[in-house]
A and B are shown apart, each in its own frame.
Chain A
Amino acid sequence: MQIDVVAAFFLFGALAQLVKAPIRMPKGLYQSLTLFLLVAIGLKGGIALASHASLALLWQSLAVIAFGALLPLVAFPLLRWFGGLSRVDAASMAAHYGSVSIATFAVALALLEASNISYEPYFALFVALLEIPAIAVGLWLARADNGGRNRGEVVREIFLNQGVLLLVGSLLIGFLAGSGADKLLPFFGTLFHGVLALFLLEMGRVAASRIGSLRQYGSFISCFGVLMPLLGATLGALLAALLGLSTGGMILLATLGGSASYIAVPAAMSVALPGANQSLSITASLSVTFPFNVLVGIPLYSALISHLTP
């Protein structure tokens, strides 16, 4: 069995934490790595978007937004009926699983580039579009009625959180600059894999440090955290096939469908649904779904889709 070199760093960080020999990474460095990945993905997507903007892309974008709204509707009944979660907790967690993880997307990109599988280069646009609808659907599912008191704060948190802002901002800069932004690529392009490896080293440590919480929340959360990515990935791959995307595009949309947010959505939900158990959702997305996708899911989606497509 061969493991991807970037994913190996995730495993390394997790194992170091599990044997109580954690690798201490300065908090500022971790935040810098996150910032780098968001800007790199957004910028490259924006440059590609400048040369691929079309009416077909508009329809694809609308379909992707609808997909982002559908995923929480799939997750919510499972969490309510089988997990017995309260309406607010189920809605909050459904929003996490409807939104996407930039880190998971970055791992899939790295795998595609390492395997020389081509993909639609403007995919960063879809990542930005998938961040938001799930939050709105999650709030609707929770029937959150705050009397409009913190609505402004919620909207601000949804659209202006650091993840969405950096991704959309760099996407726009790349789009407006076009080939003029190429001079930034030696930094944001060449260093991408190395930065991702360092980022995953820290993510492995963080994910492993939360494993104890799984005992508190029961085994249902672990099962859901594995089953939901498979459902989301299947729906994502089917949608990509309907939209006529390339093999790489199918793998990326499957990965996005199978991923769960642990940065943007928790920030928005903590403001919009203060009564929801945020720790439950973060533990599931970070300690179950993220490792599952990095170590098992992405290689599986890639192998299966490559096998099924001509």
Chain B
Amino acid sequence: MNKTLAFELCCIALLLALGILLLGNGLPGWGLIGVAALLAVGSGGLRLLNARGAADAPRLQTGLNAS
């Protein structure tokens, strides 16, 4: 696992844990849980987009070479 992904996962887990801890103590923790969810979606979504882009690049290159 690369360092950046590890950092992002730790950050999301920390926000989630803090949010739950705050809620358990009757404090506003929903904000942190919401931010953790947004970051998880953003992190996953961007990685998916990048992977798709990387997969499409050789195909495009092949198409250009063929033409």
Residues of A within 8 A of B (CB): 1, 78, 81-84, 214-215, 218-220, 222-224, 226-227, 230, 292, 295-296, 299-300, 303-304, 307
Contacts and interface: CB of A to CB of B under 8 A. Distances in A.
B7 A303 contact: no
Given A220-B7, A222-B42, A304-B22, 15 more contacts: A1-B30, A82-B6, A82-B7, A84-B3, A214-B42, A219-B46, A220-B8, A222-B43, A223-B7, A223-B11, A224-B11, A226-B11, A227-B15, A300-B32, A303-B27
B39 A222 contact: yes
Interface residues of B, number: 25
B21 to A, nearest CB: 10
7 contacts: A1-B28, A1-B30, A215-B46, A222-B43, A223-B8, A292-B35, A296-B32
Contacts of A220: 4, 7-8
Interface in B24-58: 25, 27-28, 30-32, 34-35, 39, 42-43, 46-47, 49
Nearest to B29: A300
Given A223-B43, A227-B11, A83 B4 contact: yes
A226 B36 CA distance: 9
B40 to A, nearest CB: 9
Contacts of B39: 219, 222-223, 226
Contact of A219 (B8, B28, B34): B8
